Amino acid sequence: MSASTATSLFFTLSTPPKPSIKTHPSLPPILLRRSISSPQPLLQSRPSIPPPAASAAASTVDSGQEASATSKTPPLLPFRVGHGFDLHRLEPGLPLIIGGVDIPHDRGCEAHSDGDVLLHCVVDAILGALGLPDIGQIFPDTDPRWRGARSSVFMREAVRLMHEAGYELGNLDATLILQKPKLSPHKEAIRANLCEMLGADPSVVNLKAKTHEKVDSLGENRSVAAHTVVLLMRK
């Protein structure tokens, strides 16, 4: 799915269209603050809904007080689960980049950025676990800054937000779906890239690849898709 499709679906289901993340009413302030680890976050600050980290701090402060069933403060969760899904069309003459690795093929992903279907869905899984807007809202494909951008930029921002919220990766399990080419020669390179971007040990980063039995666009070498599930743990 393209970023614009995801964004338009979101707005159809919830709020009126907004031009960018800077004006979205539900954007938590977690996206705004500068951090020591990344002095120049990609997203700008805007006071709004408490982020998981802020909520956690509030819960700690309130722990000795009466817990109200009507409290709007989310519970302090020791774990958070997130799921990501992405799909891109394959078109002749474009590079096929998966997990930051250039895969030799006769076609590649049509996308505003580098079309890295795996990194896009990992980013969405992390953002989803944090209860944040999706990748299409944070990095809209209407923003010229992201034209042709390496998706590692999105990954590093998602990881920064995860740490800023007070979480670290528990484990990640990803599944790539494509008919061609075979990914087995590239799996370890892709996994190593994921581990480096996530700052994670290989033992908690799993990657699987499947064909689509030659049916539908995935099986006819016309698209590529990926699913990712992450478990985040409070630090």
Residues that bind Zn ion (CB under 5 A): 86, 120
- CA distances from residue 152 to 58, 115, 155, 216 in whole angstroms, order as listed: 32, 11, 5, 29
In this complex, which beta carbon is closest to Zn ion, that of residue 33 or of residue 107? 107
In this complex, which beta carbon is closest to Zn ion, that of residue 120 or of residue 227? 120
In this complex, which beta carbon is closest to Zn ion, that of residue 2 or of residue 55? 2
Distance, CA of 70 to CA of 66 (rounded, Å):
11
Distance, CA of 38 to CA of 219 (rounded, Å):
41
- CA distances from residue 29 to 16, 52, 99, 128 in whole angstroms, order as listed: 20, 10, 29, 16
Q: Which amino acid is at 34?
A: R
In this complex, which beta carbon is closest to Zn ion, that of residue 148 or of residue 185? 148
Q: Which amino acid is at 73?
A: T
Structure tokens at 125: 């899984």
CB of 10 to Zn ion, least distance (A): 15
In this complex, which beta carbon is closest to Zn ion, that of residue 54 or of residue 224? 224
CB of 55 to Zn ion, least distance (A): 29
CB of 113 to Zn ion, least distance (A): 7
- HSE-CB for 6 with a 13 A CA cutoff: 21
Residue nearest to Zn ion (CB): 120
CB of 225 to Zn ion, least distance (A): 10
CB of 120 to Zn ion, least distance (A): 3
CB of 88 to Zn ion, least distance (A): 6
- How remote is the C-alpha of 19 from its chain's centroid? 20
In this complex, which beta carbon is closest to Zn ion, that of residue 24 or of residue 120? 120
Taking only Cα atoms into account, the Rg of the chain, rounded to an integer number of angstroms, comes to: 18
- CA distances from residue 125 to 11, 85, 119, 145, 221 in whole angstroms, order as listed: 19, 8, 10, 23, 25
